[in-house]
Amino acid sequence: MLPDRGFCCHDRKKRQDREMTPGRETSSLPLPEFVKWSIFPFEGEFRVRRPKPHYPTDRPRTGEPGGPPCSACAAADDEYIWADRNWRVSATRPSGVPVQLFLETRAHVDMDDLDDQLAGELGQMIVRLDRAIQAIGGIGRVHVARWGDGGSHFHMWFYARPRGAGQLLGFCLPMWAMILPPTPEQQWQANVAVVAAELAKVSGTAIAKPQGEPAGDR
C-alpha cells in the first residue's frame, strides 16, 4: 500500500473530478492498431488523449489513510455469494457477460500483504473460480484482472466470456461488459448460484442459492 497523506478529501475530490470529466486535450501520439480490431467496442475518428503529468503520489484508496472507509470490511457475509475462513466472493449487478464476480480476502490486506499461506490459497482460489464459472455452461474463457486502484482491500475481477463470442476476446471484455445489455436478472442469479455451489464443494458456504431454495443455512 502507498500511504498518501499529502492530499485532503477536498484535493481528492478535485482530482477525481479532473480525471472523470471529458478531456479535450489531444496529443500527436499515433493511434494503436487495435482501434481497428473488431474486439474494440468503438468506431469512428479517434485521437490519443494527451498524457497528463504524474502526481507526486497515488490518491488515497478506500480503506487507507486519507481515503474513504473500506466497504468490504463493513460488509456482512450475506452480501456475498460464497465465503470461507479466509476468502469471500461477491457478484456485481448484472452486466453484459453471463457473470461478473469479485474475489476478496476476508482480512483487510492488499496483494503485497499476503503471507505465504494466503498467497498459495490465492492461486487455488483463482483456479477454483475459473472452474466454478465454467460450470455455468457455455463459457469460452474466464478473464481475471487485478487493478486495485480504487480500493485497498485485496480484490480480483472475474468475467465470464461467452463461448463463441469472438468479438469479446481479450482485453476489451471489461468495456463490453459495461456496454452490452445486461444478462437478465433471473439468469444472472441462476449463474451466480452455480458458481457458489461449485465453490462450496471444496470449502466454505454457498450463500447464493438457486431460485426457489430458502436463503438460510449459512
Q: Which is nearer to Zn ion, 87 or 188 (by Cβ)? A: 87
How many residues bind to Zn ion according to rule CB under 5 A? 6
The span of 29-37, 70-78, 131-139, 188-196 binding Zn ion (CB under 5 A) equals 70-78
CA separation, residue 26 to residues 17, 50, 65, 70, 160 (Å): 19, 5, 34, 36, 34
Site residues (CB under 5 A) for Zn ion, limited to 74-93:
none
Q: Is residue 103 a contact residue for Zn ion (CB under 5 A)?
A: no
CB closer to Zn ion out of 110 and 198:
110
Positive or negative, the CA dihedral 135, 139, 144, 148 is negative
- Closer to Zn ion at the Cβ: 128 or 153? 153
Q: Which one among 1, 41, 75, 108 touches Zn ion, defined by CB under 5 A? A: 108
Nearer to Zn ion, 4 or 198 (CB): 4
Q: Which residues make Cβ contacts (< 8 Å) with residue 24, sequence separation at least 6?
A: none
Q: Which of residues 157-216 bind Zn ion (CB under 5 A)?
A: none
Q: Which three cell numbers stand for residue 107?
A: 482480512
Name the burial class of residue 113, with classes exposed (0-12), middle (13-18) and buried (19+) by CB atoms within 10 angstroms of its CB. Answer: middle
- Interaction between residue 122 and Zn ion (CB under 5 A): no
Q: Give the nearest distance from C-beta 154 to Zn ion in angstroms.
A: 9
Binding test (CB under 5 A) with Zn ion, winner from 40, 61, 63, 122: 63
Among positions 4, 61, 72, 172, the unique one binding Zn ion when judged by CB under 5 A: 72
* Binding status of residue 73 toward Zn ion by CB under 5 A: yes
**Can you say how many angstroms the Cα of residue 22 is from the centroid of all Cα atoms in its chain?**
23
Distance (Å, whole) CA 62 – CA 39: 32
Distance set, CA 140 to CA 103, 106, 131 (Å): 20, 29, 12
